[in-house]
Structure 1
Amino acid sequence: METADPDQVLAPGRADLEKMRSDPSLWSELNYEEADGVEGYPVDGNGVRRAAVLWAAQYDRRPEDLDLLRHLLEQETINHQAAHLQGISDELRLAVYLVVRWIDSTDLKRIYEARFANFDTWFALSGIPLGDLSRPGREPVWDPAGIRRWVKEIGDVAFPKRIEEETEAEWARRARVQGMAAEAKAFLLRMLQTGPPDTGLLRFLQYELSRIGEFAEAAGVQRLLVARDNNRPYGTGSALCRLSELELRCGNLEDAWRSLRRCVASLENDEARKLGHRPWRQLGIARHVVAQHMEIVLASAEHYPGLAHEVVTSGAALLDELADAPPALLALACDAALSLSLRSMADRYDQRARGVSATEPAVVTPTSDDARG
């Protein structure tokens, strides 16, 4: 089992940092380079490697690195200018901090461009004093005293100089970003074992464990959340729906179906007690619940058809109560029905997805035509 060791996480970045220090001609290897992302969006092909160098530089600060750090900041800015989904990364914040902490007026333009890289960076970096930029045409103003305050009050706190002062959550994130799933898991589990975790920490751990494919561990954390997420309307039901998703990812079909039934019962109970301001079937959770039904059907249809028929019956009944079911959900229901050769049901949801009126009721039990396949 891997240990939770920051040095392992830093090793690739440290090696690259030494290479960059020895040969500036290699800096271009860290430039922004558009590549195809796994979700279909363009990503920065060198982003992870550049991030690792920034992490290494955070704990090994040398004046002679300033030009390299400026280059990394410029590339991070380009990355955020090109970002399909906007946003701001911790690495842009770190790059800004590592440059501005030297209080050099020649960096004013770099800082300004980083702040205005996209809509989200404009807000996230608004604490850096650059003068009044609220009106079009205003030029940034160099404010060394203000920069020093920002470095001391914000930057030094967010980006500590000593490895021992960094949070384990950050080490887990950095390990995940680099594809070090075992190391990330070690940090996350150590966080879970250090004391009674609060709800926010449990949500973070569940999310991070899921992102590295540790669905059984994530489900264990989610079970703790189910017992705690009861102080908001439909909270327990939402937590149970997520637990069902994780159990399905583990291949535990019976557990996933059991949790989903508990989810619906909890949602119905909250509604009956008027804990929610709106009926749960009118909220987004209803779509998630129906989708989870259909995902279980698809996973169980081949080897556990009895379970699949039970689940699709429940899911179809809920789906038929949703007046605004989106086409993607109807298409998923169509696929689930086809996996059980329920062609009448599949046709009905296909027609709804395409906006065609369908008055025929949902057929869950196979008809003679269905049975002939």
Structure 2
Amino acid sequence: MMEAARRDLTRMRESTAAWRELRYSALPDGQDEHEVRRAKVLWALQYDRRTEDLPLLRFLAEQEALCRRHAPFQGLGSQAELVGFLLAEHRQVEDVWRQHAIKRANFDTWCGYDREHLFAAGVEATVAYVQDHPDRDDVLELVVDEDDLEPWAESRREWFPEDPADEDPLTWVERALLAGERELARAELDRWAADRPRDLRTLDALHHHLTELGAFAEAARAQRDALAFVEGDRDRAPAWLTLAGLERQAGEHRAAWEALRECRTALDGVEGWQEIGLGLRYVEELFLLSGQAERELAGEVFAQAHREAEGVDLSLVICQAAVAAAGHVGDEIAVRRYEKLRDAEQERISSGGYDYDED
């Protein structure tokens, strides 16, 4: 994987014409056609840092800002953090606007992208530089303490080491998954887990990455083991809910139903659960299971989902799952009811029902 990344970086250094292979380019499904190749070049740049690569880094930062702005599921993304850090290490004041473009790309970047990136050239120099720019106030409201910059930069250097041998082993799992090298990802995950204690951190990482690999039965086993470490209804409810989803995806519908019943018991100890995301996820999982289980079990789960749905505001995805589940169990009255709710929610969204100000 890294050999190919280094070859790509060499080509980019030899000719700026090759940079077109790294441009943000949206596919019909909204994904970025060149995301993986751009990521590989960034990984190679992390381990081979040169002053003369500044123009390439600037180009990559601009493309990552576009990718984050137009990504169908938004998010921050490790590539944006990596390119932002590598660019910040050059400490050029004019890069404040490239950093600002990443920061304001979407809601997740606005919340999660460190504002220190914008002031890497120094707070005083950056404040002076932006004074005549129309977006000056957007930057000035993010000002950090000068004394915080170097500790922040040092923590980022530890997060993105120059030597591949110093990298967190799970980073290689994540990168292999992004690159589509699933066998490598599984091998790296197994190597990481081999000598580790089966504690909560290990089990959480296993269930997360095994899920990404589609190994749902193994992920469910890891999640079930993790429940032994979870205390309190507020933590146990989402843990059981996660297990239910994994069992469902593994085709173990009875086990999924039992996990959902345990989740419901834990929810009794969570005040106002119907009004938070956890409650919505619980109802959605009920509908998903009832839409996939064998007929007798599906009817039992659907009846529970139908009752619980009365107490929550159904999102579009829940309505869609409810329509499919009602059809699966053959309840035509429920099909029509949830179709009406689905269509009304779709209309609300299409007419601008969400008031999101990205600024």
TM-score past 0.5 threshold: yes
Gaps of 5+ in 2: 141-145, 345-359
1:114 maps to a residue whose letter is Q
From 271, 281, 295, give the equivalent of 1:277: 271
Q: Secondary structure at the match of 2:102?
A: coil
Shift of 1:305: 2.0
Q: Secondary structure at the match of 2:330?
A: coil
- Residue identity opposite 2:280 in structure 1: R
Structure 2 residue identity aligned to 1:179: G
Change (3 A) 1:117 1:291: closer
User: In 2, distance between residues paired with 1:352 and 1:95?
Assistant: 43
What is the aligned partner in structure 1 of residue 179 from structure 2? 178
Alignment check: 8 A CA contact 2:76 2:112 kept:
no
Report the counterpart of residue 331 of structure 2 in structure 1.
342
1:31 corresponding residue in structure 2 = 23
The percentage of aligned residue pairs carrying the same residue is 27
Secondary structure of 1:179's aligned partner: coil
The counterpart of 1:299, out of the listed 276, 292, 306, is 292
Does residue 253 of structure 2 align to residue 253 of structure 1? yes
What are the residue-to-residue correspondences of 1:313-328 with 2, within 5 Å?
Answer: 313-320=303-310, 322=311, 324-326=313-315, 328=317
Summarize deviations over 1:279-316 as a string: whole Å, max 9, x none: x445443333332222222213xxx3222222223333
What's 2:282 paired with?
A: 289
Between structures 1 and 2, the one with greater helix share: 2
Structure 2 match to 1:53 = 41
Partner of 1:97: 85
Residues 85, 115 of structure 1: alpha-carbon distance in 2 compared, 3 angstrom cutoff: farther
What TM-score do the two structures reach when normalised by structure 1? 0.73
- SS state at 2:171 partner: helix
Equivalent residue letter for 1:32: Y
Report the alpha carbon displacement of residue 219 of structure 1 after superposing the two structures with TM.
1.1
One-letter amino acid of the structure 1 residue matched with residue 85 of structure 2 = Y
Deviation at 1:68, TM superposition (A): 3.2
Deviation at 1:242, TM superposition (A): 1.4
Contact 2:176/2:184, CA 8 A, preserved across alignment? yes
Work out the CA distance in 1 between the residues paired with 2:174 and 2:165: 16
Match of 2:9 among 6, 9, 17: 17
Change (3 A) 1:146 1:19: farther
**Which residue number corresponds to residue 298 of structure 2?**
308
Q: Helix, strand or coil for the counterpart of 2:291?
A: helix
Distance 2:335 2:69 in 1: 44
Please provide the CA RMSD for this pair. 3.3
User: Partner residue of 1:368?
Assistant: none
How far apart, in 2, do the equivalents of 1:46 and 1:227 lie? 42
Q: Rg bigger for which structure?
A: 1
Amino acid corresponding to residue 126 of structure 1 in structure 2: R
CA distance, structure 1, for counterparts of residue 86 and residue 316 of structure 2: 48
Distance (Å, rounded) in 1 between the aligned partners of 2:89 and 2:215 = 39
Give the match's secondary structure for 1:36.
Answer: coil
Aligned residues: 324
Separation in 1, partners of 2:65, 2:303: 52
